[in-house]
Amino acid sequence: MNHIIKICIALIIALQIIACAPSTNEKTNNTDTSTEWINDAVLYEVNIRQYTPEGTFNAFAKHLPRLKELGVDILWLMPIHPISEIKRKGTLGSYYSVADYKKVNPEFGTMDDFKSLVAKAHELGMKVVIDWVANHTGWDNPWIFEHPEWFTTDSTGAIVSPVPDWSDVADLDFGQATMRKAMVDAMDFWLEETNIDGFRCDVAWGVPQDFWESARASFDSIKPVYMLAEDEDHPGFLEKAFHSNYAWELHHIMNEVAKGEKNVLDLLDYFERSKGKYPEGSFPMQFITNHDENSWAGTIEERMGDAGDAFAVFSFTVPGIPLIHSGQEAGLNKRLEFFEKDEIDWSDLSKQEFYKKLVALKTENPALWNGSAGGSFKLIETSNPESLMAYQREKGENKVLVLINFTGEPVKGTIHLESPFQAKGFFTGKDISISSETNFEIGPWDYRAYVRK
């Protein structure tokens, strides 16, 4: 009898989840013309707390014209919600310990300040996505007191953290249909009330795929959105829910190549293994740093040394949407404190032109665009396969050839192309005839990009 009762209860819960979840389409169209703004987009991650002395939405807004000049298209704002005080880490706490899903962090300003920031970004032609933490909440989130049944518990009935080290957050139970409905409602709130353009979803891998698909269907009923998953191991997420995920494995290989622990052959192997990995219309996010890498793994200089610029060129020219992290264009070379105030130094913007040039390379050449909007990717044979990497992107008449020396020594080598073409060096502006076999000499950690004339 108990067995029958358990089965009945399970069926009731399953029916509740289905009833509370918005319906999903058979397949979300990530190449919809309503989101053409994603096609050639470049992401820019914004850390409001550390961006200015004030650490506010209004203070950050003053940087919008400069970011427009830089050429970035989508601003990804790290969590803007109030931060829990119970079990808080450090003085200011983690952005990812959310105290209320429908409010803004008062340290950053008011809801009206945030709406004004979004409106100003839109006026300049930029989109805004916010970081969303669906996997867990802070310990003083109202949900804990009003709906403790929405959280994961241990054998004693006590609410637990997702992992022991994340002691400042409480794990949500996605077997709870009413919690799922409340989460989607909270996300819809930001689309409807503030007119943001999507979400970067923290710990997306910790949340069931069917939740993300239900959420995406709800978003699409409101407006076109861009969805980025902090995930790499669930390709199914990209079918109906997300446009992009993290290219974590490639990022780690970059760090190892920079340290001399791996070489170009490992990069080539990665791309061979990745063929067919991404469903049509989806693509990875490419990056050489982000908030996690900067704070916990080290700065670009610490991890990559002199190879930083070479890998920046790489991240902008291989398939995927490139990311620029707050301060990257200012040569940020310190690990930003995660739980404290630690302002970015903007006194030296000497890297701004470098990244502006990379954004132009990306946006001016359809062969380098994102997902299905971009061109083919073909690895090119070189005479120095361990040190000299060459690849070609092509779409229609647009062709881009990239060569990078991924070593700290000068390299002389030959590349082997199926067909010659007339090109212009993107960084030099010089014309060049590239034959089927062309010899190159490239300095340590140097790079070339050639665009067909």
Strand-pairing partners, residue 286, are: 322
Digit-coded pLDDT (tens) for 382-402 = 999 999 999 999 999 999 999
Closest CA to 142 of 112, 106, 99: 99
Digit-coded pLDDT (tens) for 199-232 = 999 999 999 999 999 999 999 999 999 999 999 9
* Inter-CA distances, 77 with 50, 128, 159, 218, 272, Å: 12, 7, 29, 21, 33
Residues 126 and 241 in one domain: yes
CATH assignment of the domain containing 127: 3.20.20.80
Q: Environment class of residue 347 by beta-carbon count within 10 Å: exposed (0-12), middle (13-18) or buried (19+)?
A: exposed
Give dist(CA 45, CA 70) in Å, integer.
13
Residues 53 and 152 in one domain: yes
Residues 305 and 359 in one domain: yes
Give dist(CA 254, CA 314) in Å, integer.
10
Q: Is residue 6, in this structure, part of any structural domain at all?
A: no
Q: Is residue 5, in this structure, part of any structural domain at all?
A: no
Domain closes at, from 374, 403, 432: 374
Residues 193 and 215 in one domain: yes
DSSP code per residue over 186-222: HHHHHHHHH---EEEEETGGGS-HHHHHHHHHHHHTT
Residues 265 and 293 in one domain: yes
Residues 50 and 35 in one domain: yes
Q: Is residue 7, in this structure, part of any structural domain at all?
A: no
Give dist(CA 439, CA 87) in Å, integer.
61
Query: What is the pTM for the complete model shown?
Result: 0.93
Q: Is residue 153 a contact partner of residue 144, using CB atoms and an 8 Å limit?
A: no
Q: Is residue 312, in this structure, part of any structural domain at all?
A: yes
Strand-pairing partners, residue 74, are: 43, 127
Residues 263 and 400 in one domain: no
Count CA atoms closer than 13 A to 438's CA, side-chain side. Answer: 20
Q: Is residue 230, in this structure, part of any structural domain at all?
A: yes
Residue 347 C-alpha from the chain's centroid: 26
Q: Which amino acid is at 135?
A: N
Q: Is residue 169 a contact partner of residue 137, using CB atoms and an 8 Å limit?
A: yes
Count of structural domains, the chain: 2
Q: What is the share, in percent, of the chain residues with pLDDT greater than 70?
A: 93
Q: Is residue 69 a contact partner of residue 92, using CB atoms and an 8 Å limit?
A: no
Give dist(CA 97, CA 136) in Å, integer.
8
Q: Is residue 1, in this structure, part of any structural domain at all?
A: no
pLDDT computed for residue 130 by the predictor: 98
Closest CA to 147 of 120, 173, 129: 173
Give dist(CA 365, CA 81) in Å, integer.
37
Digit-coded pLDDT (tens) for 233-258 = 999 999 999 999 999 999 999 999 99
Q: Environment class of residue 273 by beta-carbon count within 10 Å: exposed (0-12), middle (13-18) or buried (19+)?
A: exposed
SS3 357: helix
CATH assignment of the domain containing 435: 2.60.40.1180
Name the pLDDT band for 313 (thresholds 50, 70, 90).
very high
Q: Is residue 72, in this structure, part of any structural domain at all?
A: yes
pLDDT of 23 above 60? no
